[in-house]
A and B are shown apart, each in its own frame.
Chain A
Amino acid sequence: MIPIDLIETTAETLMDKAAIEIPQDYLDGLKAAARTEDGDLSSFVLKAMLENYEAAKEDRRAMCGDTGVPRWFVKLGNEARIEGGFVALEAALRRATATATTGVPLRPNRVHPLWRTDHNNNVGIGAPEIEYGFEPEGAWIDLITVHKGGLFGTDYRMLFPSDGIEGIKRFYLDSLVAFGKRGLACQPAIIGIGLGGSKDTCMVLGKRASVLRTVGSRNSDPKIAAMEDEFKELGNSIGMGAMGFVGKNMVIDCNIEVGYCHTGGMQMSVHAFCLSSRRAVARLFPDGRVEHRTDPDWFTPYQRRETIEWNPQREAAE
């Protein structure tokens, strides 16, 4: 049984860490980009961002004033049990979100879409989102918080098999250029691409590809992994850099996730996880241990399974 108090205090810590500490994989990616950048203005921007991450950690203040829309991903091992059950878990995550909003402080971004009511705590109808995943073994739970910007850099399009890879590339470039102009996407970013599923799951796949995979990770399908390399290079050949200034770095990495779709379609979504790619992860065990990390490790073989039954031996042998 995972104690509910431990969930709430860990969730508060995660909100704080996500807002303040840039994940090492993204930081390494941005430093590598800064070394290759030769556009004078975009170089200046990357240098300022690197200073900003240091200032955030030194002062323990949020790296970005725009908190984005804080959300939670919860993954449970099959044997995990939570004190008070899932209703208690969701209440703990909502409380931690509200507490951290005044504690860090974070900007209370979440308002009613029509009445613009602001509870000043990032909690409201459907906010924060809480999504779930499961793994075949273990009594642990993973808490993952992501603070992703909410307005620009994301798009969806229903493509068809006849659009082919040329059509996928076109929509990818269209999205990068449209939202890259004036730097609205806050690039260079981790670009997530969702392919397939249905309209809603395609968006979910692409968002998770951008926020739940790290810089340098590759899809387990070698042909998709090759596409990820190619698309990263393609995005960086546009000639656009940070803030939409002339430059070489739009894409810190490109992650692609797929799901089986309708035989007549080829849904595609594009997402940009920004210069403040905020994510923090902790694994909680029934004995009270908490292990912090920044890699959500979401896309396991189980999450990408293709078969009816889960049969790890056979999958491993393939």
Chain B
Amino acid sequence: MKIREVTLSTTPTAEAVADLRLGDIVYLDGLIYTAREGVYMRALEDKANIPMELPSESAANFHCSPAAVIREDGSFDLGAVTATASFRFAKWLPEWMAKTGARLIIGKGGMSSKDYKEYFVPNGAVYLSTVGYGTGALLGRGVETVEAVHWHEELGIAQAMWVMRARRMGPFIVASNLEGECLFERENVKIAENLERVYEGTKPAVLKRYGETDDRSDEVIG
């Protein structure tokens, strides 16, 4: 399979999103904002006003906290940028997407195909995974400027809402499509075919763990 490279706006058209294929490599242009558990809780549970015009300014929600510092003069020093695992945010994402019109959810590890089918596809959204994980220096290079940092006093630097201007920021990998298919699950199905052979000659532990599964196709998350 030849890997295809795509440049995408962070306010993408419906057509551009529909054109993405599992495994495409994406580079992003435009405003991108970080939002993870701190922002979700503040915006959705505490009902604080989101300090951006979404999705007109940006439809790209990055599950990330940058390695960055706010200097005393209020300016920013941003170094590396690496995603955090997204499956932990499934409880907030449906409401967040409905509220903000996010079309690109960017993070680590993706979600389940069930998540994609239930609320990504109806919102015209796909999931982009960072690469590695940990191409933090490459992604940091793709940040042209930090436009703003919201809620850092309330949430701390790691949980704050960082608004970054991306310029050919990447690489990212398309991990879901508008059919709701999941790249990681596709790979796991292929890998599972080999697992019986690899496990040959091993045996389960004498003392079981309560609630443990023996289903090796289990996605573990969700």
Instruction: For A102, list chain B residues within 8 Å (CB).
Output: 69
Q: Is the CB of B221 within 8 A of A239?
A: no
Residues B81 and A111 in contact, CB atoms below 8 Å apart: no
Chain A residues, Cβ within 8 Å of B49: none
Complex interface residues of chain B between 154 and 180 (CB less than 8 A to chain A): 156-159, 171, 173
Interface residues of A (CB under 8 A from B): 40-41, 44-45, 48-49, 51-53, 55-56, 59, 61-67, 101-102, 104-109, 111, 116-118, 120, 151-152, 157-160, 162-164, 166-167, 169-171, 173, 177-178, 181-184, 186, 234, 237-240, 242-246, 274-276
Name B201's closest neighbour in chain A (CB-CB): A166
Contacts A105-B68, A162-B206 hold; do A243 and B137 have CB atoms under 8 A apart? no
Q: Which residues of A contact B190 (CB under 8 A)?
A: 239, 246
Please judge, given known A-B contacts A40-B1, A52-B138, A62-B79, whether A173 and B202 are in contact too, CB under 8 Å. Answer: yes
Q: Interface with A: B92-100, B117-125, B191-199, which one?
A: B191-199
B3 part of interface (Cβ distance < 8 Å):
yes
Contact B67 A275 (CB under 8 A): no
Determine if B77 and A105 form an interchain contact, defined as CB atoms under 8 angstroms apart.
yes
Q: Is B151 an interface residue (CB 8 A)?
A: no
Smallest beta-carbon distance A170→chain B, Å: 4
Question: Cα distance A289–B110 when bound, in Å?
Answer: 48
Q: Are A181 and B184 interface neighbours, CB within 8 A?
A: yes
From B131, B158, B187, A108 is in contact (CB under 8 Å) with B158
- Is B159 a contact of A52 with CB atoms below 8 Å? no
* Residues of B participating in the A interface, judged by any CB pair closer than 8 Å: 1, 3, 23, 25, 38, 64-69, 77-85, 108-110, 129, 131-141, 156-159, 171, 173, 184, 187-188, 190-191, 193-195, 198-199, 201-207, 209, 216, 219-221
When the two chains form their complex, are residues B133 and A63 in contact, meaning their CB atoms are under 8 A apart?
A: no
9 A-B pairs with C-beta separation under 8 A: A48-B135, A52-B135, A56-B80, A62-B79, A64-B82, A157-B209, A159-B206, A167-B203, A167-B206
Whether B85 contacts A118 by the Cβ 8 Å rule is no
Q: Are A66 and B82 in contact (CB under 8 A)?
A: yes
- Listed from nearest, the 8 A-B pairs whose CB atoms lie closest are A65-B82, A118-B156, A170-B202, A56-B137, A62-B80, A65-B136, A182-B109, A64-B134
Scoring B79, B110, B129, B199 by chain A CB atoms within 10 A of each residue's CB, the highest score goes to B79
| Chain A residues within an 8 Å CB radius of B184 | 181-182, 243-244
Answer whether A48 and B138 are a contact pair too, CB < 8 Å, given A159-B205, A167-B206, A169-B202.
yes
Cα distance A111–B173 in the bound complex, in angstroms: 30
Q: Give the residues in chain B near A159, CB-CB below 8 Å.
A: 205-206
* B173 engages A237 (CB within 8 Å): no
Query: Is there an interface contact between A178 and B132, defined as CB atoms closer than 8 Å?
Result: no
Q: Which of A118, A163, A237 contacts B205 (CB 8 A)?
A: A163
Contacts of B191 in A (CB 8 A): 238-240, 244, 246
Min C-beta distance of A247 to chain B, whole Å: 9
Whether the Cβ atoms of B198 and A105 lie closer than 8 Å is: no
Flag if A171 contacts B205 (CB, 8 Å).
Answer: yes
CA distance A162 to B203 in the complex (A): 11
